[in-house]
A and B are shown apart, each in its own frame.
Chain A
Amino acid sequence: MTSKINLPIIDALTVKNYDLYPGEKNRGITIEFKNGVTVLAGTNGIGKTTLLNLLLRMLVGPLNPAKQNQDIGRVSKRLLVSPSKFEYFKVRVSNPKKNATATISFRIGESALVVTRQINSMKLEKVVINRKQIEFQTEVAFIEHLARLSGLSSSYDFHIAVRFLQFFSEERLPILWSPGTQFEFFNILVFDTDLSSNIHSTFAEIQKYDTDQRNRHHQLQKRKENMPEPEPTELELAALDSTIEVMKLEFSEIDKKYNAKVKEHSETQSDIELLQKKIEEYEAKQHELEERFSVADAQYIAQSLPTMDSRLRFLMHGFGSGKGCFVCGTRVRKKAAEISKELRKGNCFVCHEPIKTARSGNIVPLSAKKIKQLEDNILSLQCSIEQYKVSLDERTSSAALSLSEISELASARLTLQRKIDILKAKRPKSDNESYSEAFGFIKSEELAIENLDRLKKEAVERYRLLVDKAQKEMDTMQEEIASGLKKYAESFLQEEICIKFTRNTPFKLATGAGKVNIPTFSIAMTSNTHPVPHDRKDGESVSESQKEFLDLAFRMALLDIICSDKASMLVIETPEASLDSWFMIKAAELMRKFAEKGSKSSRKLFATSNINGTRMIPALLGLIDETGEIRPLKESEKGHLVDLMKVTAGTAALKESDAKKFLEDELMRIAHVEA
C-alpha cells in the first residue's frame, strides 16, 4: 500500500538554560538521534520521562485534545485546545530561567524543520522550515501546517498520530485492544480523505443526535412528571364559562343595587345628621326666644298692671275720699297724714320698708304687637322643629330599612362571589402552564425526539455504509498488517500468532445508538494451555507485558504500512518494565527489528531505559552477541547511547559518589565505548 502520510522524524534536540538538562559546564545539551535505536539511559528520577515529553511537546506544542480523557475512538469533537498555562517543564526546576529554550530538528517528508520553543511555556519562538523562517499567528496554525506537511487531515489528527502512535510513553494508549481506537487510527492514517472525513462527520452527527435525544428525553420526562392536571373537555369548559358569566351578570346586578343602597344610606345618614343639627339649632333658638319672651311677657304684664304709684294713689284715694282704710274700713283722717308721710319718705306704710319704684315716663312701653311677634317666632320655630322631627323620624326609619337591605344585599353578594370563585378555581389557571400547553409541548417534544431517533438511525446506516467502504480499504492492507504484526509479535512472544481481520466487533456509536460492527484486527495466540491459537479479543486475555508488547507490535506494523519506504520513528518509554530477562532480550529484538539499519529510509526508535543491571540497554543497542556476551559500543555507535547521568542535573542519589560510581560502572559494564 502506498501511503501519503509522512510522520515527523526527529533528528536532534538542543536544550539551553534549563536546569534539568544543564549539560557539561551548563552549556546545555544537544542530542542527535540517528537511525536505529537510541537509548536514553538513566536512573530513576533523572528526567527520562521529562525528556520524552519534551520531544513530544516540541512536536505537538502545548495543545491537547478538547476531551483529553475520552477514548479517542469515540471522540466527536476533534479539536485541539490551548491550555491557559502550560508549565509542565517550568515546574520541574526550582528556578526556571526565562531564556530556557529547546530546539528540535525534525523532518516531515521532504521538509526539514527547526523549531525553537520556550521551555517554560512551550511557546513557539522560531520556526524554520527548509531554512526559511516562518511566522505562525497561533499554535494551532503551526500544527495545522505540520498536519498538512504530514498529509494528515487536521491538526487534531497530527496530534493523535504523533502522541499516541509514535510515542509509546506512560500513557500507553492501547490500539490493538481497543477496536474503536484501532478503527480511528486507520481512519486517520489509512482511509481516503473523503471517507475519513465522512466517517468522522457521521460519527459526530450520530453523537450529536444521540446527545440531543437523551437530553431532550430527560427533560421531557421531567416535564411529564410536573405536568398539570388535565383540563376539562371543551364542552365542560364552555358550560363552566357560561355559568360563570351568568353568575357574573347576577353579581353585577346585585353589586349595583348594593352600591346604590350604600350610597342612599350614606345620603340618608347625612340628611339625618343635618336634620339633627337643624333641630338642635332651632331648639336652641327656641329656648333663647322663649327666654326673651318670658321676660317680655312678664314686662308686658307688669306694664299692663298699675304701678306702685297708682296703687298708692288708689289706697290714698280710699282715705282721701273718706272711704277709709281699704283693709278695715276705719275712717281716721290723721292716719292719712301718717301714711302720706311714710309714702313721701318712700317707705311702705304697712311694713315701713323702702319702696322700689320704677322710673316711669321715659320708658317706651312694650307693645302687644312685639309680644305677638315673639310668640309667632316661637311658634314658627316650633312648627319647623316639629317638621324636622317628622322628617328625622322618616329618615331614621328609612336608614334602618336601607341598612337592613344593605345587609341582605351584602350577604347575597358575598355568597355569589364565593360561588364564582369556586367555579373559577375549576378552570385551568392562566398564569401557569395549562394542561393543553404542556400536552402540546410534550407531543411536539416526543415528535422531535422521534425525529432525532430517526435521524440517528439514518446516520448509523450511513455510518455502516461508510464502514463498509472502510472495510474494503482495510482489506487491502489486511495481509500487510497481519504479516507485520505477526512478525513483530512472534519475535517477542515466541508463540504462534494468527492475525484475524473480522467485522464481528460491535462498536457502540453512542449511548443510545445501535451498534455497528467495525472491522478490526484481532489475534489468536497459543500459550502453554492453548496449543492451538486461541482468540485474544481483549487485553484481559493476555498478560500485562504481552498486552503491551502486542500493542507495540501492532503500532510497529501500522507504522510500517504508513511509512513503508519512508522514514519512521517510534519513541518508547522504559520498555523493560515488567519483563523478565529473556523477554527483555526479545523486546529489544522487537524494537531493533523496527529500527533496522540498512532500511531504505530512516527508521528511528528512541527508548528510555533504567540503569538497573539488566541487559535491556545492551540488547537495545545490539551489543549482545550470539554467545550472549556484551560487546562494547563502537565509536560510531556512541551516539546511540545517551548517558543522561552526564547531561542532566542528576538526582540526589547521584550526588553520593558511591552511588554515582556504582551506576557509572554499571553503565560502563553494559554499554561502554570500545577503546
Chain B
Amino acid sequence: MSKRKPLRKSEIEPLLFVRWVLLLVSAAEAAGIDSLSRHRLHGLLFMSFASARFYKLTPLRFRAQRTPHGPYYSGAHIALGRLVLSGLVELIEFSPYPSHKDLQFEGSFRPTVHGLEVAANLRLTRTGQKIYRFLLDICLASVIATPEIVSSEGIDNRIFDKVLEQDLTYQHAIKRGESFLSLRDGDDILTPTEKCFLEIEKHFSEKYLQKPIRYSHENGNVQDQVAELAGASSPKFDEPSIFVNRRQTISAYQKILRKRIA
C-alpha cells in the first residue's frame, strides 16, 4: 500500500475554499435560487463568512478585495476554475470580466450532476454537513426574504444583490476604506452581522417567546449559542424549550436589510 502524499498547508486552505464554494453552489441550487452570478456568489460568500460563527463555524481566512463591483475573493476564482475544469460546476453565459487587476469571469454557476455527487460526498462528514446546512439556511433565508430571487420569469432580481450589499459587516468594512474587506475588528469580536443576529434573537425571546431560545439541532447536543456568542449567562436547562430556526433569524435579518434598500 502506498503512503498518502502529505498535503502542504498551502494546499489545505484552497481545498477548504473549494468545498465551501461547491457547497454554496449546491445549496443555492437546492434553495431554488435561480441564478448564481459571480457577483452574487461572492456576495453570498462574504455574508456566509460574516455569519459563520453564528453557526459555530470557523470562517475561512480569505479576505475579500474591495472592488467597485462588490467583494471579490481571488480564492473563489481559483476554486471556481478548478470546479469548472473538474466538471463539477457548470458555467453558463460565460464571459471574461474586463478587469486588469482581477482574474474574473462572468456567468452563472450551477452544479453539475457530478458536482452534486461530489457535494453529497463532502456532506458525509459532520463538518461538510454543517457547512452545507449553514449555507442552505442562508440561501433559504434569502429566498424567504427576497422571493424575487427564485423567479424564473426574468424579473430583475438585482434586489437580492442589493440586499447583500446592505450586509452590515460589508457596510462596516466599506466604511473603513481599506482595499481588503475585514470581517471583524478582532478575532474574538463578533461581526456586525452576528451582533444583529443576536439582537434579533433577543427580540424574539423577549417579545414573543418569554423564554430563552434553544436550538435542537447540532449533533443532538443542546447548546445555548446565544449565551456562548454573546457571553450572556446560560439558560436553565430544566426549563421547557421553545425551538426556533436560525434560518428565521437570518431571514429576519435579510428582511431588515431589504427594508433598508426600500
Contact of A305 among B3, B6, B12, B88 (CB under 8 A): B88
- Report the Cα distance A279→B18, complex, angstroms: 34
Contacting residues, chain B, for A306 (C-beta < 8 A): 86-88, 114, 118
Bits for B104-143, please: 1 = Cβ < 8 Å to A, else 0. Answer: 0000000000100010011011110000000000000000
Given A304-B118, A305-B18, A295 contacting B219 (CB threshold 8 A): no
Given A298-B12, A311-B86, A314-B86, A304 contacting B121 (CB threshold 8 A): yes
Contact of B125 among A302, A311, A368 (CB under 8 A): A368
Docked complex: B204-249 residues within 8 A CB-CB of A: 219, 221
Question: B4, A299: Cβ atoms under 8 Å?
Answer: yes
Contacting residues, chain B, for A359 (C-beta < 8 A): 2, 5
Bits for A371-396, please: 1 = Cβ < 8 Å to B, else 0. Answer: 11001100100010000000000000
Bits for A286-325, please: 1 = Cβ < 8 Å to B, else 0. Answer: 0000000011011111101110001100110000000000
Q: Does B262 contact A (CB under 8 A)?
A: no
- Report the Cα distance A51→B237, complex, angstroms: 132
Question: A363, B85: Cβ atoms under 8 Å?
Answer: no
Given A359-B5, A363-B4, A297 contacting B127 (CB threshold 8 A): yes
Residue of A nearest to B96 (CB): A327
Q: Does B15 contact A (CB under 8 A)?
A: yes
Q: Does A326 contact B (CB under 8 A)?
A: yes
Contact of B85 among A294, A326, A376 (CB under 8 A): A326
Docked complex: A349-380 residues within 8 A CB-CB of B: 358-359, 361-364, 366, 368, 371-372, 375-376, 379
Whole-angstrom distance between the Cβ of B170 and the nearest chain A Cβ: 27
Whole-angstrom distance between the Cβ of A532 and the nearest chain B Cβ: 134
Q: Does B155 contact A (CB under 8 A)?
A: no
- Report the Cα distance A220→B125, complex, angstroms: 106
Contacting residues, chain A, for B11 (C-beta < 8 A): 298, 302
Whole-angstrom distance between the Cβ of B216 and the nearest chain A Cβ: 17
Q: Does B16 contact A (CB under 8 A)?
A: yes
Residue of A nearest to B19 (CB): A301
Docked complex: B1-25 residues within 8 A CB-CB of A: 1-7, 11-12, 15-16, 18-19
- Report the Cα distance A314→B115, complex, angstroms: 13
Whole-angstrom distance between the Cβ of A135 and the nearest chain B Cβ: 121
Given A304-B122, A314-B86, A372-B125, A297 contacting B16 (CB threshold 8 A): yes
Contacting residues, chain A, for B87 (C-beta < 8 A): 306, 310-311, 314
Q: Does B82 contact A (CB under 8 A)?
A: yes
Contacting residues, chain B, for A299 (C-beta < 8 A): 4, 7
Question: B86, A310: Cβ atoms under 8 Å?
Answer: yes
- Report the Cα distance A366→B7, complex, angstroms: 13
Residue of B nearest to A306 (CB): B86
Question: B85, A301: Cβ atoms under 8 Å?
Answer: no
Residue of B nearest to A371 (CB): B125
Question: B86, A301: Cβ atoms under 8 Å?
Answer: no
Contacting residues, chain B, for A314 (C-beta < 8 A): 85-87
Question: B124, A368: Cβ atoms under 8 Å?
Answer: yes
Whole-angstrom distance between the Cβ of B55 and the nearest chain A Cβ: 14
Given A301-B122, A368-B125, A294 contacting B12 (CB threshold 8 A): yes
Whole-angstrom distance between the Cβ of A45 and the nearest chain B Cβ: 126
Contacting residues, chain B, for A298 (C-beta < 8 A): 7, 11-12, 15-16
Bits for A263-301, please: 1 = Cβ < 8 Å to B, else 0. Answer: 000000000000000000000000000000011011111
Contacting residues, chain B, for A300 (C-beta < 8 A): 122, 125
Contacting residues, chain A, for B219 (C-beta < 8 A): 379
Contact of B15 among A301, A363, A364, A366 (CB under 8 A): A301
- Report the Cα distance A294→B19, complex, angstroms: 13
Contacting residues, chain B, for A297 (C-beta < 8 A): 16, 125, 127
Residue of A nearest to B58 (CB): A290
Most buried by B among A298, A314, A361: A298
Question: A372, B121: Cβ atoms under 8 Å?
Answer: no
Residue of B nearest to A290 (CB): B58
Most buried by B among A304, A311, A375, A379: A304
Question: A372, B126: Cβ atoms under 8 Å?
Answer: yes
- Report the Cα distance A497→B234, complex, angstroms: 136
- Report the Cα distance A269→B88, complex, angstroms: 57
- Report the Cα distance A97→B122, complex, angstroms: 140
- Report the Cα distance A170→B7, complex, angstroms: 136
Whole-angstrom distance between the Cβ of A327 and the nearest chain B Cβ: 8
Contacting residues, chain A, for B16 (C-beta < 8 A): 297-298, 301
Docked complex: B157-187 residues within 8 A CB-CB of A: none
Whole-angstrom distance between the Cβ of A385 and the nearest chain B Cβ: 13
Contacting residues, chain A, for B82 (C-beta < 8 A): 305, 311
- Report the Cα distance A299→B9, complex, angstroms: 11
Whole-angstrom distance between the Cβ of B121 and the nearest chain A Cβ: 5
Contact of B221 among A361, A362, A383 (CB under 8 A): A383
Contacting residues, chain B, for A376 (C-beta < 8 A): 126
Whole-angstrom distance between the Cβ of B246 and the nearest chain A Cβ: 19
Contacting residues, chain B, for A362 (C-beta < 8 A): 1-2
Whole-angstrom distance between the Cβ of A360 and the nearest chain B Cβ: 9
- Report the Cα distance A299→B15, complex, angstroms: 8
- Report the Cα distance A359→B4, complex, angstroms: 9
Whole-angstrom distance between the Cβ of A309 and the nearest chain B Cβ: 11
Whole-angstrom distance between the Cβ of B195 and the nearest chain A Cβ: 23
- Report the Cα distance A366→B128, complex, angstroms: 14
Contacting residues, chain A, for B86 (C-beta < 8 A): 305-306, 310-311, 314
Residue of B nearest to A295 (CB): B7
Question: B125, A315: Cβ atoms under 8 Å?
Answer: no
Contacting residues, chain B, for A375 (C-beta < 8 A): 125-127
Contacting residues, chain A, for B2 (C-beta < 8 A): 359, 361-363
Whole-angstrom distance between the Cβ of A293 and the nearest chain B Cβ: 8
Contacting residues, chain A, for B118 (C-beta < 8 A): 304-306
Docked complex: A605-654 residues within 8 A CB-CB of B: none
Question: B7, A302: Cβ atoms under 8 Å?
Answer: yes
Contacting residues, chain A, for B88 (C-beta < 8 A): 305-306
**10 pairs of A and B residues whose beta carbons are closest in the complex:** A368-B124, A362-B2, A306-B86, A298-B12, A371-B125, A375-B126, A301-B15, A298-B15, A304-B121, A314-B87
Chain A residues with CB under 8 Å of chain B are 294-295, 297-302, 304-306, 310-311, 314-315, 326, 358-359, 361-364, 366, 368, 371-372, 375-376, 379, 383
Given contacts A311-B85, A371-B124, A375-B125, 19 further A-B contacts (CB under 8 A): A295-B7, A295-B12, A298-B7, A298-B15, A298-B16, A299-B7, A300-B122, A301-B18, A306-B86, A314-B85, A314-B87, A362-B1, A362-B2, A363-B1, A363-B4, A364-B1, A368-B124, A368-B125, A371-B125
Pairs A–B under 8 Å by Cβ, sample size 10: A299-B4, A300-B122, A302-B15, A304-B121, A311-B86, A361-B2, A363-B1, A364-B1, A371-B126, A379-B126
